[in-house]
Amino acid sequence: MEKLRNQARNVGGDVLSHLGNHEFMNAIGLVIEATYSKLTVEICRYVYQSEIATFGSVEARQEMISTGLIGRAWAQNYTTTSRLPLHPSLGPPNTDYPSKDATAAQSPLSHAAISFLHGGLAPTYPQLTPFPSAINSLSSSLLHKLQSQSPYPPPYPPNPYPGLPGDSTAEEIRFYGTDGPLWYRGWALEDEDVVCAAVDDVLERTGTRRMVMGHTPDFEVGSNVRPRGLNLEAETTG
């Protein structure tokens, strides 16, 4: 991913990469190996022994995702969500909405942008705005606390589940919660009428025309576009 990022920047482009629930679960110290099937869906806390072997040990893997190359890449180059403007007048990727520029806020192009993230933007989530910096600031601060723990919690299992750091704020705990951007599945699982009634408000608050998400597997279809094409779930089984 970092090679691709450098290649893109060398020709005037960029790569927007995102942290999902799995990255944070790994940062917490979860190394559960679980099954994932159509009939029985376990919580996605799996790390295969073959992967651990590529690092040499569980401890070496934990070091790599905390202070090593992978952990540093997460901290420096990844966010939890992105706002991608579709017109140059809106600024570069991840320019906040609402804009501090009153003229831009009233522009007919103010919502000409798409949001991307792994989980979802819940209507009930209190840190939607300014978007995306409110979410990404919490993502950065919580990841820093997880990666800075000393000593680093021993992996679960076989040790007790470590949970979030003791100094996590209420906002950081909510960020990692079920209606936070890492875990929220409502757009994929709620009835169509519920989704249609809620989506426009979230798009309005985040200055976007469409949300692109993943996280919730769809074993029948590769992708699922919901009401009026406003909410698009890029879903996979992996």
- In order of 47, 133, 197, the CA distances from 44 in angstroms are 9, 27, 30
Position 38 confidence tier, pLDDT thresholds 50, 70, 90: very low
Return the number of other C-beta atoms located less than 10 Å from residue 68's C-beta.
15
Would you state the pLDDT for residue 107? 86
pLDDT digits over 64-109, tens only? Answer: 999 999 999 999 999 999 999 999 999 999 999 998 887 777 789 9
Please check the confidence at residue 190 and state whether its pLDDT lies above 50: yes
Nearest-5° Cα angle at 174, 171 to 178: 165
Would you state the pLDDT for residue 64? 93
Region 139-146: mean pLDDT is 98
- In order of 34, 135, 172, 174, 184, the CA distances from 18 in angstroms are 23, 12, 17, 18, 15
Angle separating helix axes 69-77 and 133-147, nearest 10 degrees:
160
Percent of the chain with pLDDT over 90: 58
Return the number of other C-beta atoms located less than 10 Å from residue 84's C-beta.
19
Say whether the peptide bond before residue 160 is cis (omega within 30 degrees of 0): no
User: If 0-12 CB within 10 Å is exposed, 13-18 middle and 19+ buried, where does residue 172 land?
Assistant: buried
Would you state the pLDDT for residue 49? 79
Dist CA 129 CA 208 (whole Å) = 12
Would you state the pLDDT for residue 227? 58
Least confident span in 14-23, 144-153, 190-199? 190-199
Please check the confidence at residue 110 and state whether its pLDDT lies above 90: yes
Partnered with residue 232 across adjacent β-strands are 212, 225
Please check the confidence at residue 226 and state whether its pLDDT lies above 60: no
Under a CB-based contact definition with an 8 Å cutoff, are residues 205 and 174 in contact? no
